[in-house]
Amino acid sequence: MRAITHNKNEAHRHIRLLQLSSSIFATLLFCATFLSAQSPAPEFKLVVTGDVPAPLTLTAADLAAMPRERVEMADPDGGKTTYEGVPLQEILKKAGIPFGRQMRGKDLAGYVIASAKDDYQVLFSLGELDPDLGGVRAIVADKRDGKPLFQYQGPVRLVLPGDKAGARSVRMLEKLEVVKLRK
Amino acid sequence: MLGASLANPRTQQNPDGGEYQWELPKGFPRPKIPADNPMSAAKVQLGRYLFYDQRMSVNGTQSCASCHKQELAFTDGKPRAVGATGELHPRGAMSLVNIAYSGALTWANPTETSLEHQALTPMFSDHPVELGVKGKGEAFIQILHSDPLYREMFAAAFPGESDPFTIANVTKAIACFERTIISARSPYDRYHYDREDSAVSDSAKRGEVLFFSEPLSCFRCHGGFNFSDATDYQGRRGREIQFHNTGLYNVAGPTSYPQPNTGIYEYTKQPGDVGKFKVPTLRNIALTGPYMHDGSAKTLDDVLDHYSAGGRTIASAPNEGNGFHNPNKDPLIRGFKLSTVDRADLIAFLDTLTDDTVIHNLNFSDPRKNRHP
C-alpha cells in the first residue's frame, strides 16, 4: 500500500510538474505571440545597400535607437493617423550618403530605390531627399498611432506626409538600394 | 456603451431642428448631401416607409426593398433583377449599403450621380419595367395622400410646403433614407479602426496582406474606407471616379462585351469605353452574390478565378472569347498565382467585411413589420 501511495504521490507530483510546465510554456507562448503582435518581428531586417560607403542591415532595435519623428496624416473622416519612425535621410546618412553642403556634383545623379516585400518599388532622387534641396519629408515608420503597423503595412513602411496620394508611401519596406549614375 | 454606439452608426436631427447630425464612427467621413435635399430625421423616416411600400408598383407586388433586401446587404441574390411584371433587367441589383459614399450610382451610367434622380428610373422606366409606375404617378400620389400616416409624415418631412405630395418629394425622402444605410463596423472595421486584433482571424490577416499586395493589387480599384474607387464624400481630394474593363468578356462583333451591357460606352460612345463598369464596394461582399454587372460569376471563387486568370475565358457560344485579350482591359488585370491557402485567406479577409450591424439594424428594416425605433 505504501509503495502504491508513494507511487501515487510521485504520479501527482509529475502531473503537477507537467501542469506547471505546460502553464509556463503556455505563458511563454502567449508572451511570444503578444510580443510578436506588439513589435516588429525579431527577424525583421531593413537592408541599405548599393552605392553606399557603409551598407547597413537594420533591425527593429536599430530603428528604435535612431533619431525618430512623428508625422500626422489626415484621414478622410477629418481625424489624424500618427506614424512614428526614423527619417529616411537619417538612415541614408548612417549608410554614408552625404546631405547638405556635401550633396553636389555627381551625388545629384544618384537615387534610392525603396523596395517592398511584395516587389513594389518606388524611386527617389538623392537631391529631392536632401533637406537643402528638394527637402521631401519621408519617414521609415514602424508605429501607427503608437502601435505596430498592420501586417499589410509593415513591419515598416515609408510615410510621406507631403504627398497628395499614398502611392510612394511604400508598405512592407525591406530594402533601400542607392544607385549613383556617375561614379 | 461606447462599443454599442460605434457598432450601430446612427443619424438624427438636432433637437433644435438645426443641421442634421451624422453619428459616424472613426474612419468614416461625412457624406456629400445635395443642397436642395438636406437630411432630416422626418425625411429619413418617410423614406423608410416609402422604400418598403409595395403600392409603389404597378400591380402592388414590389417596392424598392424587393430588389434591395436588408438581409442580403440590400441586394436581391439574383443574377439579374426582375421587375414587378416579371421583366428581366439586363443587370443585377446593386447594393445600397454605403450608397451615400458613392460618386457613381449605377453599373454603367457615369452621368447618374443623384440618388433623387436615380430613384425615378426604377419607378418609371418601361424598358425594362421595374416598379412600373409610368403613367400612374398621379394615382400613386393619391394613394399616399389618402393614407393618414403619410399625411402626417409628408407634412413633417416637408414643413411649410402647401402640397408636399409630389414625386420629387417621394424621391427626396427615399434618397435620405438610403443615405443612412451605412456599413461602418464590420469585423474588419473593428480590427482596423478600433484595433481589436482578435476581431479577425489570422487567415483573414494573411488575406489582407494578399489583397493589398502588388501582385494582386485588388486595393488599387477596391481601395479606401469603402473598398471602391467610385467613392465620394465631403472634402474628398483625388482622382476622378473611374470605370473599368476587367476582361470579363471578349466576344466577336462590334463591341467586345455582349449587348446590351457594353458599360459606359452606352453613354460615351467611345470605343475605348466598351466594357467599363463601376467598381462596387466590397463591403458585405459575401452577401451580395452573384457577382459582376450581369451576375455571371456565381461565387467569390468564380470571381477569384476570373481575376487570377487575368480575364475570363468562355469556351462556348454565345459569349465565346478570352477576356484576357479584351482590348480595353485595365492593365492592372494581369493575372496572378493563388495557392489553395491563399484563396482561403483572401476569402476569409473578404468575409470580415460582412457587417451584421447593417443587416440586423432595425432602423433599416420594414417599419410596418417593425416599428422600432
Cα distances (angstroms) measured from residue A76 to each of A165, B229, B232: 12, 14, 10
- pLDDT of B372 reads 52
Between B9 and B82, the higher pLDDT residue: B82
Would the pLDDT of A23 be above 50? Answer: no
CA B212 to chain centre: 22
For helices B300-308 and B340-351, the axis angle rounded to 10 degrees is 130
Tens-place pLDDT, residues B23-35:
899 999 999 999 9
Compare CB distances from B213 to A79, A118, A150 and report the shortest one's residue. A118
Cell 432595425 belongs to B362
Cα–Cα distance, B283 to B100 (Å, whole number):
13
- pLDDT of A20 reads 42
- pLDDT of B127 reads 85
Chain-chain contact of B208 with A75 (C-beta, under 8 angstroms): no
- pLDDT of B134 reads 86
Cell of B123: 419607378
Pairing of strands A173-180, A46-50: parallel
Least confident of B1-5, B203-207, B324-328: B1-5
Tens-place pLDDT, residues A59-81:
999 999 999 999 999 999 989 99
Pairing of strands A121-125, A139-144: unpaired
Cα–Cα distance, B48 to A103 (Å, whole number):
65
- Residue B17 pLDDT level (bands cut at 50, 70, 90): low
Chain-chain contact of B206 with A151 (C-beta, under 8 angstroms): yes
Cell 420594414 belongs to B366
Query: Using an 8 Å Cβ cutoff, are B350 and B216 in contact?
Result: no
Query: Using an 8 Å Cβ cutoff, are B274 and B265 in contact?
Result: yes
Tens-place pLDDT, residues B294-307:
999 999 999 999 99
Cα–Cα distance, B318 to A151 (Å, whole number):
44
Would the pLDDT of B270 be above 90? Answer: yes
- Residue A175 pLDDT level (bands cut at 50, 70, 90): very high
Find which of B213, B225, B234 to mutate to test the A interface (most A CBs within 10 Å of its CB): B213
Find which of B195, B200, B212 to mutate to test the A interface (most A CBs within 10 Å of its CB): B212
Look at residues B143, B124, B140 and name the one whose alpha carbon lies nearest to residue B132.
Answer: B124
A78 vs B contacts (CB less than 8 Å): 29-30, 235
Q: What is the DSSP letter of A17?
A: H
**What is the per-residue burial (b if ≥16 Cβ within 10 Å, else e) of B18-28?**
eebebebbebb
Tens-place pLDDT, residues B75-101:
999 999 999 889 999 999 999 999 999
Average pLDDT, chain A: 82
How far away is chain A from the Cα of B19, in angstroms, using its nearest Cα?
18
Tens-place pLDDT, residues A72-130:
999 999 899 999 999 999 999 999 998 988 888 888 999 999 999 999 999 999 999 99
Chain-chain contact of A120 with B214 (C-beta, under 8 angstroms): yes
- Which residues pair with residue A121 across a beta bridge? A115
**What is the per-residue burial (b if ≥16 Cβ within 10 Å, else e) of A43-61?**
ebebebebbbeeebebebe
How far away is chain B from the Cα of A11, in angstroms, using its nearest Cα?
38
Give me the total of CB pairs closer than 8 Å, taking one residue from chain A and one from chain B: 50
- Residue B3 pLDDT level (bands cut at 50, 70, 90): very low
Tens-place pLDDT, residues B23-76:
899 999 999 999 999 999 999 999 999 999 999 998 989 999 999 999 999 999
Compare CB distances from B225 to A76, A150, A172 and report the shortest one's residue. A76
- Residue B137 pLDDT level (bands cut at 50, 70, 90): confident
Look at residues A100, A106, A55, A85 and name the one whose alpha carbon lies nearest to residue A161.
Answer: A85
Compare CB distances from A78 to B29, B209, B211 and report the shortest one's residue. B29
Query: Using an 8 Å Cβ cutoff, are A178 and A127 in contact?
Result: no
Would the pLDDT of A34 be above 60? Answer: no
Chain-chain contact of A119 with B236 (C-beta, under 8 angstroms): no
Look at residues A51, A181, A178, A183 and name the one whose alpha carbon lies nearest to residue A109.
Answer: A181
Report, as an integer, the average pLDDT of B269-283: 96
Q: What percent of chain A has pLDDT over 70?
A: 77
Cα–Cα distance, B373 to B366 (Å, whole number):
11
Compare CB distances from B26 to A79, A120, A164 and report the shortest one's residue. A79
B206 vs A contacts (CB less than 8 Å): 151
**Half-sphere exposure for A8 (CA within 13 Å, toward CB):** 5
- pLDDT of A106 reads 87
Would the pLDDT of A4 be above 90? Answer: no
The reported pTM is 0.85
Would the pLDDT of A3 be above 70? Answer: no
Query: Residue A105, SS3?
Result: helix
Cα distances (angstroms) measured from residue A100 to each of A87, A93, A130: 15, 11, 6
Would the pLDDT of A165 be above 60? Answer: yes
